[in-house]
Amino acid sequence: MKKILVFDIGGTNLKYAVMTPQRALLIKGSVATPTAGLPQFIAMLQKIIPELSNQVQHLLNFTYKWSRWWSCE
């Protein structure tokens, strides 16, 4: 089954999920959006992505789609 890693980056929270192309929600989570700067934001993503890497195949091949979905194909 194809799975998609999805991020919703907001001013208060960074929400993330693993979903199917049919938008079925498999996993979801949320953390406070780092506000100290870009290095802290990237560090947060580097923490979240490995935690979900066993759920998403081919994690290293990201494609940004206009619908704001990160597709791991």
Domain with 67, as residue range(s), is 4-72
Looking at residue 67, what is its pLDDT?
45
**How many domains does the structure of the chain reveal?**
1
Distance CA 28, CA 16 (A): 6
Give pLDDT tens digits for 2-58: 888 888 888 899 999 988 888 899 999 999 999 898 888 888 888 888 888 777 765
Distance CA 15, CA 48 (A): 10
Looking at residue 13, what is its pLDDT?
92
Looking at residue 33, what is its pLDDT?
92
**Residue 69: pLDDT over 60:** no
- CATH number, residue 22: 3.30.420.40
H-run or E-run covering 4:
strand 4-9
pTM to 2 decimal places = 0.70
